[in-house]
Structure 1
């Protein structure tokens, strides 16, 4: 199986994609370990600070030595230069806030999963033409589950993952999955600034475990 398909399958099977950034490498590492212990096997670290690349390198080393089977991707990639930097240090997948053709070409060339951020049907059509399999719907807070229901009628073969509008509770997750999403992206609603600031990694772990159970429950109910 191609690596990009393997990564896609793991994200879909997991049902959620945690995403976060923290300027401190040690805090970033503890968060990663907490989620891994909870059962997470794919994580998006976001390129949202000057320390992101150095921290990513640190996390990648930890993944390779302590967290077998964990896929570490990078998000908030806005150009080819950024994509190249992270591909060179071992990113398992690349997530963009928009549809960037040169990034798509580079990622596909390296047999990695490319996940573009889309909001309109025009953007989704372009992403599909660029061979995207999973679409990040962003911002999910402005679109809502009913938008996914309408999209699935037009794009039945595409997989959708809303981000920035999913709450870490059964009601919100159920609404999105019932509408037809394949996974949900969870950032600050799962890994809050407060929990990272107080280094409450136990709460991050327990909440992540709870959300994984919610996803499985919702999927079983909606079948």
Structure 2
């Protein structure tokens, strides 16, 4: 078991964090759990914590050690699962059930990779002159677009104006995603998922 020891004696924890865990998260289990936490805090010199004050992290870790020893098995794991719901997030930055805002800040580019002269399947850093863009924008924008009523986030692959290919034809599609450095911490703890798939269909041309 990892020791409940602070890396440095000068490390502190904000009172708002203590209250969110001990007063809000633990109370979801029972009032007795909450009382155990506050008794342990008092035993370690944190009596009636204030949301605007800072306290020694070692006292906070000692409280965790007491909670783990006196309450149910895996209580710290279960407690951690409550944090996203009880933490006080900045306005508009609560990840919530939809995963947060990461999809609004992840930039996506999909293009037909013609290479410098012909498609070669080699990954260029960016689309080069002559490459045809299939889709670009944020992940949210690309997923929500409905080009030519093909369905959410579905795109037709066209080469030389046609999307009907013969057996043996080779088409290279390149894909890139990035998060600009300027986004900052607004996406911290956010999540986003996506998938890239190809769905060949019969040609409608004669």
TM range, normalised to the smaller chain? Answer: under 0.3
**Larger relative contact order (C-alpha < 8 A, sep ≥ 6)?**
1
Q: Pick the structure with more helix per residue.
A: 1
Q: Please, what TM-score do these two structures have when normalized by structure 2?
A: 0.22
Rg (Cα) greater in structure: 2
